[in-house]
Chain A
Amino acid sequence: MENQSCVNIQTEWDIVAARQLGRNVAKELGFGIVDQARITTAISELARNIFIYANKGRVCIEKIYDKGHAGLRIVAIDNGPGINDIRLAMEDGYSTSGGLGAGLPGVKRLMDEFDIVSSKGKGTEIVATKWIR
């Protein structure tokens, strides 16, 4: 798809590449500086989750248009171990890796729409969207 570009996440530096891509696309679409920071931070969280928990995966950035509104969609896919209890993972302060546990609930608050599908042993797919207001 023309409006979509992806970054493979394999090393820690790919996280930087992913959010650079996100920032560029967000800038192109005309997001304000605060929303740019929100989007890049969300990408950073999702890409880091892939790197920490699944070792490798993919982050795709997509420009979307709906009823005259433009938006940016982040799709983070991995074939990692999956999330045991999504409800728990979405709770503030819950982490299995000794982190702050603010990543996933934080991304949900940073973005406008948030959707997560995960099956144990198969992987996780997270789709998050931000619209231009």
Chain B
Amino acid sequence: MNRIINKYIQEQKEYILKEWVERMKEKSDERVLKVVSNQVFVSTSREFVEMVSSNLNDTNDEYSERLHDFAEKVVKLGWPLSFVTEGIQVFASLVFEGIKEEKLVSKEDEMKLFYGIDRWTNPMTNEVVNIYSTTWERTVSLQKIALQELSAPLIPVFDGISVMPLIGAIDTERAKQIMENLLNGVVKHRSEVVLIDITGVPVVDTMVAHHIIQAADAVRLVGARCMLVGIRPEIAQTIVNLGIDLNQIITKNTLKKGMEAALELMNKKIIQVGEKS
């Protein structure tokens, strides 16, 4: 059965390619065609068809290597996974219909042909899905690490004064890190005043407020003072509406104001030496 399929594909490659491109163009939405130029689409399609048919000739190792390369290329091009799996299905049905039409197999053997094609395309689909998901998993885990790296840095700016700028949404994972970095940093840098800047935090709900209050309490326990800066007017109003009590924490609306207050607490002052040139 494999021989018949193989022979048909080798002979009718051009026709199959043409039909396949036609059908896939109908199926693919604007999304795919927009990211891929027509030329790239056709050449990648050719490669796709070559690859699909090579499965029957190549040895397993050669084939899986080609499949791997192809899948990575498709991922880079931004073809959606559903498009690729559908492509395999369309290809299979094209071959099936073609062989049936040319009457290369008897009516009784049609079922056998169907299963033959199925046995050949199924592992292919599995492999493609596998490669896609590993690529995604890798991307997600890399991004997670990248996110963690910039999630809650404590920056010493003056003797005894450190700043923690927070940007983006705060979830439980990050809240834990904020607390850890804050306490470790305070001890390591011998900070006496820590400014937490929430200018970049889009929403301050009760959970975020709760974590900030807890962090401030903990900072007090290790002998430093905590200041909350960067409270935008709309955030101030929602905090009041929510009825959150931030009286235990010194708050300022900008980092600049907070820095001045922190210097004052340390009995320090920034002065200008000499005239500006």
Q: Which A residues are within 8 Å of any B CB, using their own CB?
A: 12-13, 15-16, 19, 33-34, 36-38, 40-41, 44-45, 48, 92, 99-103, 105-106, 109-110
Contact = CB atoms under 8 A, between A and B. Distances in A.
Contacts of A15: 171
A110 B241 contact: yes
Contact of B244 (A13, A34, A38, A102): A102
A34 B237 contact: yes
Interface in B220-234: 233-234
Contacts of A13: 171
Contact of B205 (A33, A34, A44, A101): A44
Nearest to A107: B242
Q: Number of contact residues on B: which range applies?
A: 20 to 34
Contacts of B68: none
A40 B242 CA distance: 13
B182 to A, nearest CB: 19
Contacts of B139: none
A105 B242 CA distance: 7
Q: In this complex, which of B203, B205, B242, B244 has the most chain A Cβ atoms within 10 angstroms of its Cβ?
A: B205
21 contacts: A12-B173, A15-B171, A19-B203, A33-B234, A34-B233, A34-B238, A37-B203, A37-B238, A38-B237, A38-B238, A38-B241, A41-B203, A41-B204, A41-B205, A41-B238, A92-B243, A99-B207, A99-B210, A100-B244, A109-B242, A110-B238
Contact of A99 (B169, B206, B235, B243): B206
Contacts of A38: 234, 237-238, 241
A19 B169 CA distance: 11
A57 B203 CA distance: 21
B172 interface: yes
